[in-house]
Amino acid sequence: MNKNNLIKRLCHIGIEISAEKNIDTLLEMILKESMQIANCDAGSIYFIEGEQEQCLTFKYTQNLSIEFPFKSFRMAIDKNSIAGACAVTGELYNFTSMDETVDKIGIRHNPTFDDSVGYRTRNMLVVPLKNYDEEVIGVMQLINKKKGNERLVDDLAYETILPFTEFDEEVIESLASQVAILIERTRLYESIQDLLESMTQSLAKAVDQRDPVTGGHSERVANYTLDLAKHISEAEDKSLASFDFTTDKKRELYYASMLHDVGKIGVPEYLLTKESKLPEEHMYAIEARYKYLMLLLKIRQEKMLDTADPNSQRIQDMLLDGAKILSRVNKAGFLREEDERFIEELKTYKIEDEDGSVIDLLTPYEYDQLSIKRGNITSEERSKINSHAQKTFEILDEINWTKSLSKVPVIASQHHEKLNGKGYPYGITSDTLSYEAKIMAIADIFDALTAKDRPYKPALSVEKSLSILKEEVANGNLDRVLVDHFENMILERGYPHD
């Protein structure tokens, strides 16, 4: 290769390797390019791996003359092998003949591998891969520099082998140095990704632990969301707008779905774990109060103090069964009409205590809680819980996301939005709602319906849950085509996730 072509080649290589983020691809690329530049027949790369006990791992090899099954293996980083000696000393070795290994590094070339595949190593250029700190992170071996492009299949072909030149040394060492630095950059990039992912998982786990009954919800929603996105991108049905499920999109969707409930950090914990209208200890307090009032009325009746009060007997009747009725109402998911009338009447009565203070049979707070018609959350409490979506945006928007992850706050905060604009926190419609959020909304609802770890409701079957998703479509809340894809995916793959 003449110098003009070499310069062009090196520029091209520089562009390619600087853009590559995958270490495996990078190593394969540099080995191939180095072999072409030096015009050699074979090559190998060893990589230093391990944190506690490091070793040299045989990672890649190429041979233009013979084919053989690749098998990775590990060896100690010491001077008992050519690659090991290079890793220890950090020096470049140019063996014009393999007999030179004894004088240069004190060991003989081991021909075992050559013999096993029917090959002969006549010469070798061994180059250390060094990082910013001049630490060796790997070793590259180039084998049998050739005069032309012929395959080494007989003695005559082996006679065309040439020694590696000083120019080869300079070019390959320079290239190896660039690659080593890029490998370190890639390792740093991967470590940052690992850090971000572990922090995301830890934060999601912390959110789930604040609400024990929904433990694992964030991870399941992430799984459903990513699987649905992949299913859509691979579907032959093109009724959807093209969804480009790139690596960056996958990561963005993963972080958004894992952190979609992070705003619950700002919601009072008692609301997240509320299993009844009033806490059990409050019901004990009501029961104790009623017992006291019954005793108070009985004493007064005995002293003939309440004979003029026409409501005295009615109050006693209500107090007698009141605690029992209220205990049932407190845990009921639906308020019956007769219970509603009882609560309405109960709140109208007050009794004056011995010290002149007034005692309510039912305080305004107790009335508000016990008169909830469905579920156990008041409208005010529901607003506080719903605020987690807006809080999710506010929390995630404080993070300096990279450009490829810039939509995480928006996607995560929109998982309770509806196509018809009746969702929250923004009440936006389908035209404004992000495509990713439409996918996540389906995953979020499905997991809430099928989850087996919620004590306040039984898990619904897959069939019933899918039916409810279709009802949401009919009500204008979810995307019909996306729900169809989700149903196909669930039925094909045998969900739900455990």
Q: Output the DSSP codes for 383-438.
A: HHHHHHHHHHHHHHTTS---GGGTTHHHHHHTTT--TBS-SSSS--BTTTS-HHHH
Distance, in Å, from the CA atom of 444 to the CA atom of 20, rounded to the nearest integer, reads: 35
Question: Does the pLDDT at position 85 exceed 70?
Answer: yes
Question: Does the pLDDT at position 456 exceed 60?
Answer: no
Of 272 and 478, the one with more pLDDT: 478
Q: What is the pLDDT of residue 136?
A: 93
Residue 212: C-alpha distances to residues 11, 282, 390, 454 (Å): 57, 22, 22, 9
Q: What is the pLDDT of residue 457?
A: 65
**In angstroms, how far is CA 19 from the centroid of its own chain?**
25
Q: What is the pLDDT of residue 432?
A: 94
Question: What letter represents residue 186's amino acid?
Answer: T
> Which residues are CB-neighbours of 337 under 8 A, at least 6 positions away?
none
Q: What is the pLDDT of residue 260?
A: 95
Question: Does the pLDDT at position 214 exceed 70?
Answer: no
Comparing CA positions, the residue from 306, 308, 310 lying closest to residue 293 is: 306
Distance, in Å, from the CA atom of 339 to the CA atom of 336, rounded to the nearest integer, reads: 5
Question: Does the pLDDT at position 497 exceed 60?
Answer: no
Q: What is the pLDDT of residue 473?
A: 97
Q: pLDDT for 296-337, tens place per residue?
A: 888 887 776 555 566 777 888 888 888 889 999 998 888 999
Q: pLDDT for 149-202, tens place per residue?
A: 888 988 888 888 999 999 999 999 988 888 788 788 888 888 888 999 999 999
Distance, in Å, from the CA atom of 449 to the CA atom of 447, rounded to the nearest integer, reads: 5
Comparing CA positions, the residue from 80, 163, 91 lying closest to residue 126 is: 91
Angle at alpha carbon of residue 287, lines to 282 and 293, rounded to 5°:
125
Angle at alpha carbon of residue 80, lines to 166 and 78, rounded to 5°:
85
Question: Does the pLDDT at position 212 exceed 90?
Answer: no
Comparing CA positions, the residue from 179, 169, 177, 180 lying closest to residue 38 is: 169
- Per-residue pLDDT, averaged over 407-435, amounts to 96
Distance, in Å, from the CA atom of 446 to the CA atom of 478, rounded to the nearest integer, reads: 12
Of 367 and 1, the one with more pLDDT: 367
Q: Which residues pair with 125 in a beta bridge?
A: 94, 142
Mean pLDDT of the chain: 88
271: DSSP letter: H
Distance, in Å, from the CA atom of 388 to the CA atom of 386, rounded to the nearest integer, reads: 5
Distance, in Å, from the CA atom of 431 to the CA atom of 448, rounded to the nearest integer, reads: 26
- Per-residue pLDDT, averaged over 139-151, amounts to 92
> Which residues are CB-neighbours of 136 under 8 A, at least 6 positions away?
48, 86, 87, 90, 128, 129, 130
Angle at alpha carbon of residue 125, lines to 86 and 152, rounded to 5°:
135
- Per-residue pLDDT, averaged over 232-239, amounts to 74
What domains does the chain contain, in order, with CATH numbers?
3-189 (3.30.450.40), 211-270+381-493 (1.10.3210.10), 280-376 (no CATH)
Of 24 and 128, the one with more pLDDT: 128
Distance, in Å, from the CA atom of 173 to the CA atom of 167, rounded to the nearest integer, reads: 10
Question: Does the pLDDT at position 207 exceed 90?
Answer: no
Distance, in Å, from the CA atom of 168 to the CA atom of 171, rounded to the nearest integer, reads: 5
The percent of residues above 90 in pLDDT, for the chain, comes to 51
Distance, in Å, from the CA atom of 149 to the CA atom of 398, rounded to the nearest integer, reads: 58
Strands 136-146 and 74-75: unpaired
Q: pLDDT for 457-467, tens place per residue?
A: 678 899 999 99
Distance, in Å, from the CA atom of 30 to the CA atom of 175, rounded to the nearest integer, reads: 8
How many CA atoms, within 13 angstroms, populate the side-chain half-sphere of residue 55? 9
Q: What is the pLDDT of residue 309?
A: 60
Residues recorded for the chain: 498
Return the residue matching tokens 């003989």. Answer: 108
Comparing CA positions, the residue from 21, 430, 24, 28 lying closest to residue 248 is: 21
Q: What is the pLDDT of residue 99?
A: 92
- Per-residue pLDDT, averaged over 85-99, amounts to 95
Comparing CA positions, the residue from 161, 217, 159, 156 lying closest to residue 42 is: 161
Q: What is the pLDDT of residue 1?
A: 64
Q: What is the pLDDT of residue 413?
A: 97
Question: Does the pLDDT at position 210 exceed 90?
Answer: no
Number of Cβ within 10 Å of residue 28's Cβ equals 16
362: DSSP letter: S
- Three-state secondary structure of 451-493: CCCCCCCCCCCHHHHHHHHHHHHHCCCCCHHHHHHHHHHHHHH
Q: What is the pLDDT of residue 252?
A: 95
Q: pLDDT for 5-55, tens place per residue?
A: 777 777 777 777 777 777 788 788 888 889 999 999 999 999 998 877 899
Q: pLDDT for 236-271, tens place per residue?
A: 765 555 567 888 899 999 999 999 999 999 988 888
Asked if 257 and 225 touch (Cβ cutoff 8 Å), the reply is: yes
452: DSSP letter: S
Asked if 347 and 315 touch (Cβ cutoff 8 Å), the reply is: no
Q: Which of 105-114, 261-270, 445-454 has the lowest mean pLDDT?
A: 445-454
Distance, in Å, from the CA atom of 493 to the CA atom of 226, rounded to the nearest integer, reads: 14
pLDDT band at 471 (very low <50, low <70, confident <90, very high): very high
> Which residues are CB-neighbours of 75 under 8 A, at least 6 positions away?
46, 55, 56, 58, 81, 83, 84
Distance, in Å, from the CA atom of 486 to the CA atom of 153, rounded to the nearest integer, reads: 57
443: DSSP letter: H
Asked if 23 and 138 touch (Cβ cutoff 8 Å), the reply is: no
Q: What is the pLDDT of residue 306?
A: 52
